[in-house]
Amino acid sequence: MKDQTEADTTWLMLRIYYYPQFMEGLVDLAWSERYEILKTLYDKGHPDATWDVRSDTPMEDMMEYVSRKGYFKFFCAGTVVNQDGSFKFHSQLTECLKEEGF
């Protein structure tokens, strides 16, 4: 089995402590705001294949995508984890972080 790297350890920490806060902040937003953030994060994580407006109802498209894939993909797209274990969030992701049920 592959040894756990520094980056893996950081991802574990982010999944436990930050992702719930991201979710808490995100679902508190109206869908129009949420859409903008999700689109920004998606584009950040996929610079070569940005979120295309697929139809006349992009927000509904996003809702449908989220219902299938969940939010974690967006969280990952807005996060950069370095080999030494340090990490950095996209500013939009940071602003979404909201202290959840403690």
Partner 1 sequence: MSEIPKDIVDFARLTAGNFEQKIITVREVFMNKVSGEPASGIGFCTKHKGKALTHKKAGKDRMMVEFNVSDGENTIECVAHNAEDAYLPGGLGTDELTSLIDDLDQSQKMGSKLEIYGNYINNGAKRVFLVDALSLEAGFMHSQMTTEQFVTFKNLCKKNDISPMDLMMRDDTLWAELYAKDYLKKAILLFCLSPERKQDMIHIGIVSSHGEGKDHLVERVIEPLVPCRLVGSGKMATIPGLFGAMSGDDLSCLEVGLLPKMNHQRVAISEFQTWDDSTFGELMNMMANGSVSIQKGNLDVTRETTENLLFLGNPPNHYNEEDYEKKDMLAAFGKYTHQIVSRLSLIFTQLSLAGDDATGMIRNAILKSMDRDFDNEAMKETLEMWRSFFREYLAYVSHIRPNLREYAPRINSNYDVLESKSQFKLAFNIRNKRDNRKYQEFANLVRGFARLQGDDQIGIHHVGEAYKIFSKSLSTLTEEFPIKALEYGIDYKLIDIHTRLLSKCSEATTKAEIQSKIKVSDANLAELVKLKAVIKFDSDDTYLVREFDWDSLEASP
Q: Is 13 in the site for partner 1 (CB under 8 A)?
A: yes
- Pairing mode, strands 87-89 and 79-81: antiparallel
Single out the segment in contact with partner 1 by CB under 8 A; choices: 24-32, 45-53, 68-76: 24-32
Binding residue for partner 1 (CB under 8 A) from 66, 76, 85, 92? 85
> Which of 1, 2, 3, 32: binder of partner 1 (CB under 8 A)?
32
Per CB under 8 A, does 94 bind partner 1? yes
Nearer to partner 1, 1 or 30 (CB): 30
> Both tokens of residue 43?
């584009």
Which positions ≥6 away from 97 have C-beta within 8 Å? Answer: 18, 21, 22, 25, 89
Q: Which is nearer to partner 1, 53 or 80 (CB)?
A: 80
